[in-house]
């Protein structure tokens, strides 16, 4: 495996597994840009753009946004990054078509990290999750609360509950994950790029597991 200085990492896992939380930590530690397709959609929905209006009807119901919309948006975003810095893609690809589109571009990943956590634990985490509509920071009222009541530590905005963290949408998101995204894990396993990380335990315990995986791969390089 040859990383050079450009790590291209994909984070996959069920809703609430901690992809976003761990991707943000990894991004900070290694200086690699973090792209969350879910976060891009939330920003576009908040700003009521054309893309946001198209995506909203799927996102609020917990359904996947159609491939043609997500693929174009993600490739454009990757093209806008500094090519020397690599990327951490959080929540993309979620279908085989999305994975193939990445492999047919110049952005094929080096490694794919599956963060696995059982469904009950994910549901528990999602019910107390909050996010900042302005800067996208993620909190948890039980496990990772902001310092001041419900105010974002980073930008001072009032944090909110995601619309798709309501029970019915959460159920739909798990269903989509099992049917459409699980085959993506097999796709990367067949390429020898899949690494599984246990997502249970505290945020820092999970982070240590991911960091030691990255360090061991960098040593092999
Ligand atoms: P997206 O935003 O990606 O949602 P998701 O996959 O459902 O994942 P989540 O963001 O809910 O969970 P996470 O794994 O990031 O967990 P987090 O770190 O927040 O996508 C949203 C929607 O956008 C999709 O449903 C779809 O409609 C659309 N979309 C996006 N990408 C798409 C694509 N490629 N194709 C089509 N449609 C797409 O952690 C969860 C909570 O737990 C937080 O509160 C956190 O603080 C807490 N926590 C994290 N780790 C721990 C820990 N170790 N212990 C205790 N608490 C923890
Ligand atoms: Mg997330």
pLDDT tens, the chain, 221 aa long: 445 567 999 999 999 999 999 999 999 999 999 999 999 999 999 899 999 999 999 999 999 999 999 999 999 999 999 988 999 999 999 999 999 999 999 999 999 999 999 999 999 999 999 999 888 899 999 999 999 999 999 999 999 999 999 889 999 999 999 999 999 999 999 999 999 999 999 999 999 999 999 999 888 76
Q: How far is the CA of 19 from the centre of ligand 2 (A)?
A: 6
Nearest CA to ligand 1 atom 27: 59
Can you tell me the distance from the alpha carbon of 107 to that of 39, in angstroms, rounded to the nearest whole number? 20
What is the edge-to-edge ordering of all strands in the sheet holding 8-12?
A: 34-36, 87-90, 8-12, 111-116, 194-198
Which ligand 1 atom is at minimum distance from the Cα of 128? Answer: 44
Residue 136's region, left for phi above 0, alpha for psi from -120 to 50, else beta, is left
Q: Does domain 3-117 have CATH number 3.40.50.970?
A: no
Which ligand 1 atom is at minimum distance from the Cα of 199? Answer: 53
- List the structure tokens of 47: 């700003």
pTM for this predicted structure: 0.94
Nearest CA to ligand 1 atom 7: 15
Can you tell me the distance from the alpha carbon of 55 to that of 141, in angstroms, rounded to the nearest whole number? 27
């Amino acid at each position: 495996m040859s990383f050079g200085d450009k790590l291209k990492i994909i984070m996959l896992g069920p809703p609430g597994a901690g992809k976003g939380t761990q991707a943000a930590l990894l991004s900070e530690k290694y200086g690699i840009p973090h792209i969350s397709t879910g976060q891009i959609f939330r920003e576009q929905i908040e700003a009521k753009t054309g893309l946001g209006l198209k995506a909203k009807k799927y996102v609020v119901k917990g359904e996947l946004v159609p491939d043609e919309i997500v693929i174009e948006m993600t490739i454009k975003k990757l093209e806008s990054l500094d090519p020397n810095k690599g990327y951490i893609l959080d929540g993309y690809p979620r279908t085989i078509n999305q994975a193939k589109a990445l492999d047919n571009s110049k952005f094929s990943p080096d490694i794919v990290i599956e963060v696995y956590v059982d469904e009950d634990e994910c549901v528990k985490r999602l019910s107390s999750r909050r996010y900042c509509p302005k800067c996208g920071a993620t909190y948890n009222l039980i496990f990772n609360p902001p310092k001041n009541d419900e105010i974002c530590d980073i930008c001072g905005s009032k944090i909110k509950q995601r619309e798709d963290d309501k029970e019915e949408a959460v159920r739909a998101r798990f269903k989509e994950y099992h049917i459409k995204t699980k085959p993506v894990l097999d796709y990367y396993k067949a390429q020898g790029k899949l690494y599984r990380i246990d997502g249970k335990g505290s945020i820092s315990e999970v982070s240590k597991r991911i960091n030691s995986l990255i360090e061991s791969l960098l040593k092999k390089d």
